[in-house]
Amino acid sequence: MELPEIEAIARTLNAKLCRRNVKGIRLASKILLRGASGKHLLDELSGKSLKRVERFARYIVMCFEGGNALALYLASGGQMLLYLGEKAPASLSARLDFGNIILALRSQGGSSYLILIKEREIEELPVSRSGGLDPLGRDYSWPAFSFALAKQKGRIKERLLSGGLVFGLGSLYCDEALFRARIDPGRKIERTSLDERKDLFHCIRDLTTEAVEAYGILELAPKQKMSWTFPFPLYVYRRRSAACLKCKTKIKGIKLGRQYAYYCPYCQK
């Protein structure tokens, strides 16, 4: 799951669950919870009001009265679901009962997890060692981006995907940002100009921000297929052989490392 989707989920939960009290908690597996037992989690959060939900890096963090916070790492394939006045199935990985609303986690492959921490410890949560910038965060600035980019070498899309420059962007956002910046995904970073680098910096911020705003407040309904369809037209991603929406040239797809890159050979040089 990419960063704008995680941000959209955090905003949705903040809008729908704030000021509600925890009535019960159920975990399907002990492995899902790190650093505490299920009993300790229930003791600490039962009856407590949810103050706010925010995103920190790739975590969705729920802050409760009393100073505790529950951080969720939602891995690829994981789902957050809201049951409104409905009974949630016992097969779900985790359930937090907020009265007439149940927040549920469906984890695939066992890679999603929960961590009970103190609210003051949010910034100490384990994050990727790649050290990339958060494109939706306050630290995302042109000086920081320029400095990080100057330390990178190799083909630009591969470096974007590595997380060492920015984190949380998958192939879709990388392809679309490079299209907006008019940069060939296979071009080496050393061969990009200062103006192109500035354009890429702004395109990444604009694209991710627009995506979050376009998602708005999500339904997160159990019967809704969470396909994370991009909320506005894609120009190049997975459009190989289709006409470019700007110049009508056929979109190309090439293999770069383990990923494909889609681009317009006329618009992107």
Q: Over 70: is that where the pLDDT of 129 sits?
A: no
Is the C-alpha dihedral spanning 219, 224, 230, 234 positive or negative? Answer: negative
142-263 shares the fold of 3-124? no
Comparison of pLDDT for 154 and 1, the residue scoring more = 154
Question: CB within 8 A of 161, min separation 6: which ones?
Answer: 169, 170, 171, 174, 257, 259
Q: What's the confidence (pLDDT) of residue 226?
A: 55
Contact 136, 27 (CB under 8 A): no
Q: What's the confidence (pLDDT) of residue 224?
A: 63
pLDDT in tens, 169-202: 999 999 999 999 999 999 999 999 999 999 999 9
Contact 95, 102 (CB under 8 A): yes
Q: DSSP letter string over the chain?
A: --HHHHHHHHHHHHHHHTTPBP-EEEES-GGGEESS-HHHHHHHHTTPBEEEEEEETTEEEEEETTSEEEEEE--TT-EEEEEESSPPPTTSSEEEE-SSEEEEEE-STT--EEEEEEGGGGGGS---TT--B-TTSTT--HHHHHHHHHT--SBHHHHHHHTSSBSS--HHHHHHHHHHTT--TTSBGGG--HHHHHHHHHHHHHHHHHHHHHH-S----TTS------SS--SSTT-TTSBPTTT-PBPEEEEETTEEEEE-TTT--
Domain boundaries, given as residue ranges, for the chain: 3-124, 142-263
Q: What's the confidence (pLDDT) of residue 246?
A: 95
The residue-averaged pLDDT of 119-126 equals 92
The domain at 3-124 falls in which architecture?
Alpha-Beta Barrel (3.20)
Q: Which CATH number fits domain 142-263: 1.10.8.50, 3.20.20.140, 3.30.70.1290, 3.40.50.620?
A: 1.10.8.50
Question: CB within 8 A of 229, min separation 6: which ones?
Answer: none
pLDDT in tens, 61-89: 999 999 999 999 988 888 899 999 888 88
The residue-averaged pLDDT of 11-28 equals 95
Write down the residue that tokens 């700007």 correspond to: 246
Q: Over 60: is that where the pLDDT of 233 sits?
A: yes
pTM: 0.91
Average pLDDT of the chain is 91
Provide the pLDDT confidence category of residue 55 given band limits of 50, 70 and 90: very high
